[in-house]
Amino acid sequence: MSSIKEKFNQISPSEFFYSNRDLAGFSNPTRSLYTAVREFVENALDACDQKGILPDVHLTIKAVDPDKSDPKPYILTVKDNGPGIDAEHIPLAFGTVLYGSKFGLKQARGMFGLGATMAILYGQITTNKPVIVKSSSDAKIQNQFEILLDIQKNKPVIVKHITKEVAKKGLSVSICLEGDYSKAGNKIRDYVYETSLITPYASITFDDPKGQKFSHPRFVKNIPAPPTIIKPHPHGIDVERIRRMIVESQFEIPTIDDAMIEKVRKDLGLSKKNLSFTSIMDKAKKKWKNLPRQVRVVIALMSFLKMDFEKLNKIRIEDIDMPNKKLFYWDFGDSQSKSMDMDPESQYYKQLTNTVQGEPLTTFLTKRFQRVGPTTAVKFAEFAKLKPEKRMGTLTNQELVNLSDSLQKFDDFMAPDSSCLAPLGAEPLEKGIKKFFNPDFVAVVQRPASAYSGFPFIIEMGIAYGGDIKTGGPHVYRYANRIPLLYDEGSDVVIKVVNDTDWGRYKVKGEPPFIIVSHICSTRIPYKTAGKENVADRQEIERELRLALQFLSRKLSSFMSKRGQAEAAKKRANLYAKYIPMIAEFCTELAGKKKEPNYKKMLETEIETETKKAVKEEKEIGNK
C-alpha cells in the first residue's frame, strides 16, 4: 500500500465560519439578508440595554443598483445611539471572528457578537466590499473605519481610517452584501414589527429599498432593569468548563529571578538592607497578612530551602513534589540537582499546597459557583465520594468526569440565580399588545424563575382576543431573549404546547381572532439550530409554558363565556324577531283567521329585555 500522509492544518476561526456559514443562517441570499439585519439590530439593542440607554435604532437597506433583479448587492446600515466602541477596539471587533464583549453569563440577545462578524464576512465574500464602521464613544470624535477581513489569518485589514467631530455618541455599521429583498422583505418587515412589540422602550425605523418607511416609535419610557453577570450554576457546566475553572484557580510557581527577588524585598520593606534568613522569616511573619500571593510563595519556598536572598539567587526551582513532601532545585554553584524535605506541619507547606494543587473542593464550589454554601459543598463532596479538602489540582481525569457527572446529578443545589435575567415585565408586554392589536381582551403573565440544566429561565406570555386581530388564530408570536423567532416554527416547543391545547375547552371555536405572545428569557436558550429560530422542547421549559398558557387560557375562557352570554342574548333577540312573525303568519291561515294575532307588543318587550342583557354583559367585559 502506498503511504498517503494526511496533512494536518490548523484553520482560523474565520476560515471555519467561512466554510460553515450555513450553520449561522447565511445559507442563501434571502436568509442571509434577513440574518444580517437581525444580527446588527440585535447588537445595537444589546449595546443600549447594557448601558441603560433608551435605544434609537435606524435600519436602512438600499439596493446598489435598483434596476438589477434579485438577488443583487444591497447596502445594509444599522445606526444606533448606544455607547459606541473605542477606536482601538474597532478593528478587532469588526475584523476578527470570536472577538467580543459578551462572554459573561447573563441574558443577552446574542452570545458573542459572532453573528455580526459572520454578516460582515458574508458581505465581503459576496461583494468584496469592506465594512464601514462609524463610532463615537465620547460624543466628540467619531472614528470612521473601512475594514476588510483577512480570512486565513483571522485579522483585520484597515482600508481607511479618518476622524470627524460629532455631537452624539453611537455606532453605525454598514455592509454591502448580496441579498434578495423581494423574498426576504416580508420577513424583515415582520422582524422589525415584532421586535418593536417586545422592545417597547426602543424607537425603531426602517427605510426599505423600495423607498417605504416603517416607523415604530417607543411607547414605554422605562427600560427594564439590566441583568447582572453571575457565576455559573453547578447544573450548567461540563468537564471542559471545570477544567478551565481549575486552571483559573491555580497559581504558577513564580520564577525566582532578580526582578522577583527585588519585589519580595520591596514588599517586606527590606530594599536597602541585606538580612539573614531568620530575620527575613521574622519580618515575613509580621507582614504576612499584607503580602501578595506570589511573595508568599517565594517566602514559603525560602522557608524550606533555608536560604537568604543571596543564596536564592543561585538556584532554580525544578519541582515541588507535594505527595512526597520533597522540593527539587538546581544549584548553579555546584551544577547539580538537589532535593530538600518539606515539613508538612509547617504553615508554609499549606501555602505551597494551595498554590500547586489548587483550592480544596469545598472552597472551589463556594467561591466559583452561584448559591453554593459551605454546608451544601460538604454534602456534595459526600455525594460525589470526594474528600471535601481534596485539592482541585490533584483530580485525575476520571475524577474530573465523576465530579462533572455528580454536579449534574446532585439535587440539593439551590435553584439558579435569576438576577442575570431581564424579562420585559408584564406591564410593558400588556401595553405593547394593546397598542399593536387593540384587542377586546388581553391577559399577560410572568412566571416565576425556573431552571433547566442549571440555566435559569423565565417565561412571559400574553394572550389577546378580538379587536384588530386577524381571524384564523391562534397566531403565535415567539420571542427568546427579546428576539422574534420567525423561521422553522413547526418544531418549536411553544408551537407544540399551543397545538396541544384543546381550545374548545376554553370556549374558543372556529377561526378565532386570537394571538399568543410568548417570551422565553434565559442565559442560554436551548435553540435547536445555530440559526436561532426554534426552541427545543426541554421538559422544564415545556412545563412552564404550559402553566403560563393554562393560566391565560382560563382567563380567556371566562371572557369568552361572558362574551358568549352577550352574544346569545343578542342572538335570541334576533331569532325572536325572525321567527315569531312567521309562526303568526302560518297559524293565522291554519286557524282559519283573517287577522294576524296581536303578538307585536310581546315581541318588542322580549327583544328589549334580551338587548338589555347583552348590553349589560358587554359592559362587564369592558370593565374588566
Choose the binding region for other proteins from 136-144, 290-298, 524-532, 599-607 (rule: CB under 8 A).
599-607
And the C-alpha cell for 30?
A: 434571502
Note whether 125 binds other proteins by CB under 8 A: no
We find the least distance from the C-beta atom of residue 575 to other proteins, in angstroms, to be 5
- Cα 452 to Cα 540: distance, rounded to the nearest angstrom: 6
Q: Which listed residue (157, 589, 608, 612) binds other proteins by CB under 8 A?
A: 589
Note whether 103 binds other proteins by CB under 8 A: no
Output the CA angle 474-478-481, nearest 5 degrees. 155
Q: Which listed residue (252, 601, 622, 623) binds other proteins by CB under 8 A?
A: 601
Which contacts qualify for 43-46: CB closer than 8 Å, 24 or more apart? 43/78, 43/109, 43/110, 43/113, 43/115, 43/116, 43/173, 44/78, 44/79, 44/80, 44/82, 44/171, 45/80, 45/109, 45/195, 45/199, 45/202, 45/482, 46/102, 46/108, 46/109, 46/110
3-state secondary structure 578-622: HHHHHHHHHHHHHCCCCCCCCCHHHHHHHHHHHHHHHHHHHHHHH
Q: Name residue 137's beta-bridge partners.
A: none
**Judged by CB under 8 A, how many residues of this single chain contact other proteins?**
23
Note whether 588 binds other proteins by CB under 8 A: yes
Q: Which listed residue (1, 167, 259, 591) binds other proteins by CB under 8 A?
A: 591
We find the least distance from the C-beta atom of residue 557 to other proteins, in angstroms, to be 22
Choose the binding region for other proteins from 27-35, 384-392, 446-454, 578-586 (rule: CB under 8 A).
578-586
Question: Directed axis angle between helix 361-368 and helix 374-383, to 10°?
Answer: 130
We find the least distance from the C-beta atom of residue 509 to other proteins, in angstroms, to be 17
Choose the binding region for other proteins from 60-68, 408-416, 473-481, 569-577 (rule: CB under 8 A).
569-577
Note whether 622 binds other proteins by CB under 8 A: no
Q: Output 415 or 584, the one with its CB closest to other proteins.
A: 584
Are 355 and 293 spatial neighbours (Cβ–Cβ below 8 Å)?
Answer: yes
We find the least distance from the C-beta atom of residue 190 to other proteins, in angstroms, to be 41
- CA 232 to each of CA 367, 388, 407, 523, 524: distance values in angstroms, whole numbers, following the listed order: 11, 20, 12, 10, 12
| The amino acid at 484 | P
Note whether 577 binds other proteins by CB under 8 A: no
Note whether 580 binds other proteins by CB under 8 A: yes
Note whether 613 binds other proteins by CB under 8 A: no
Q: How many helical (H) and strand (E) elements, i.e. helices and strands, does the chain have?
A: 18, 17
Q: Which listed residue (5, 411, 582, 594) binds other proteins by CB under 8 A?
A: 582
We find the least distance from the C-beta atom of residue 615 to other proteins, in angstroms, to be 18
Note whether 602 binds other proteins by CB under 8 A: yes
User: Which residue from 27, 137, 32, 56 is spatially nearest to 93, judged by alpha carbons?
Assistant: 137
We find the least distance from the C-beta atom of residue 614 to other proteins, in angstroms, to be 13
We find the least distance from the C-beta atom of residue 507 to other proteins, in angstroms, to be 18
Choose the binding region for other proteins from 81-89, 278-286, 416-424, 594-602 (rule: CB under 8 A).
594-602
Are 454 and 237 spatial neighbours (Cβ–Cβ below 8 Å)?
Answer: yes
We find the least distance from the C-beta atom of residue 599 to other proteins, in angstroms, to be 4
Q: Output 292 or 597, the one with its CB closest to other proteins.
A: 597
Q: Which listed residue (1, 4, 167, 590) binds other proteins by CB under 8 A?
A: 590
And the C-alpha cell for 300?
A: 514559603
Q: Which listed residue (103, 288, 332, 586) binds other proteins by CB under 8 A?
A: 586
We find the least distance from the C-beta atom of residue 558 to other proteins, in angstroms, to be 23
Note whether 604 binds other proteins by CB under 8 A: no
Note whether 576 binds other proteins by CB under 8 A: yes
Note whether 288 binds other proteins by CB under 8 A: no
Q: Output 602 or 615, the one with its CB closest to other proteins.
A: 602
| Cell 526551582 found at | 317
Are 497 and 476 spatial neighbours (Cβ–Cβ below 8 Å)?
Answer: no
We find the least distance from the C-beta atom of residue 594 to other proteins, in angstroms, to be 11
- Cα 110 to Cα 103: distance, rounded to the nearest angstrom: 10
And the C-alpha cell for 277?
A: 534568613
- Cα 567 to Cα 171: distance, rounded to the nearest angstrom: 54
- CA 107 to each of CA 29, 46, 104, 522: distance values in angstroms, whole numbers, following the listed order: 30, 10, 9, 6
| Cell 551544577 found at | 335
Note whether 587 binds other proteins by CB under 8 A: yes
Choose the binding region for other proteins from 124-132, 433-441, 573-581, 613-621 (rule: CB under 8 A).
573-581
Note whether 599 binds other proteins by CB under 8 A: yes
Q: Output 397 or 598, the one with its CB closest to other proteins.
A: 598
Note whether 594 binds other proteins by CB under 8 A: no
We find the least distance from the C-beta atom of residue 619 to other proteins, in angstroms, to be 22
Q: Which listed residue (575, 612, 615, 624) binds other proteins by CB under 8 A?
A: 575
**189 three-class SS:** helix
We find the least distance from the C-beta atom of residue 501 to other proteins, in angstroms, to be 28
User: Which residue from 248, 236, 199, 240 is spatially nearest to 220, judged by alpha carbons?
Assistant: 199
Q: Output 5 or 578, the one with its CB closest to other proteins.
A: 578
Q: Which listed residue (244, 470, 571, 619) binds other proteins by CB under 8 A?
A: 571
Phi/psi for 47 (5° steps) reads -60, -45
We find the least distance from the C-beta atom of residue 598 to other proteins, in angstroms, to be 5
We find the least distance from the C-beta atom of residue 510 to other proteins, in angstroms, to be 18
Residues in the chain: 624
- Cα 198 to Cα 106: distance, rounded to the nearest angstrom: 19
Q: Output 415 or 568, the one with its CB closest to other proteins.
A: 568
Phi/psi for 328 (5° steps) reads -105, 140
We find the least distance from the C-beta atom of residue 540 to other proteins, in angstroms, to be 46
- Cα 279 to Cα 362: distance, rounded to the nearest angstrom: 36
Note whether 579 binds other proteins by CB under 8 A: yes
Q: Output 144 or 588, the one with its CB closest to other proteins.
A: 588
Give me the residues that bind other proteins (CB under 8 A), please.
Answer: 568, 571-572, 575-576, 579-580, 582-584, 586-593, 597-599, 601-602
